[in-house]
């Protein structure tokens, strides 16, 4: 079957750096996405990786290794507003998105 694994919850300190990992086993691969979801709100798009390597967007970076079925989202200079769930999703060979359950990130002052 298809599977996306990410940690259920992580805690980090304001101003620090945190890395959220995502491993996947899917039938085919056509891109990996990261979304941010604040409590009670809709997910919003953060990043997209289809080739191996690091994509940087301001304080957020996303890395992909297709051979290892692995991605991570790196958040730098953490702010309290970064407290949210982070969803990893993979587009499979049928171009359908398979979603992880999300990682709840708690930022402490």
Partner 1 sequence: NAGVTQTPKFQVLKTGQSMTLQCAQDMNHEYMSWYRQDPGMGLRLIHYSVGAGITDQGEVPNGYNVSRSTTEDFPLRLLSAAPSQTSVYFCASSYSENGDEKLFFGSGTQLSVL
What residues make contact with partner 1 under the rule CB under 8 A? 4, 8, 31, 33, 35, 40-45, 48, 50, 87, 89, 91, 96-102
Nearer to partner 1, 43 or 78 (CB): 43
By CB neighbour count within 10 A (0-12 exposed, 13-18 middle, 19+ buried), where does 45 fall? exposed
Report the SS3 class of residue 80. Answer: helix
Nearer to partner 1, 8 or 67 (CB): 8
- Minimum distance, C-beta of residue 102 to partner 1, in the bound complex (Å): 7
Report the SS3 class of residue 92. Answer: coil
- Minimum distance, C-beta of residue 78 to partner 1, in the bound complex (Å): 24
Count of Cβ atoms closer than 10 Å to residue 30 Cβ: 14
Nearer to partner 1, 13 or 27 (CB): 27
Q: Which residue from 39, 34, 12, 45 is spatially nearest to 86, judged by alpha carbons?
A: 34
- Minimum distance, C-beta of residue 73 to partner 1, in the bound complex (Å): 16
């Amino acid at each position: 079957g298809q599977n996306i694994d990410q940690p259920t919850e992580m805690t980090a300190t304001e101003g620090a750096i945190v890395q959220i990992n995502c491993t996947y086993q899917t039938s085919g691969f056509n891109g990996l996405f990261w979304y941010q979801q604040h409590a009670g709100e809709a997910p919003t798009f953060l990043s997209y990786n289809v080739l191996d390597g690091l994509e940087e967007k301001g304080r957020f970076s996303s890395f992909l290794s297709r051979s290892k079925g692995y991605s991570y989202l790196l958040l730098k200079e953490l702010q309290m507003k970064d407290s949210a769930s982070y969803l990893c999703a993979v587009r499979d060979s049928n171009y359908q998105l398979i979603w992880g359950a999300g990682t709840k990130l708690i930022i402490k002052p």
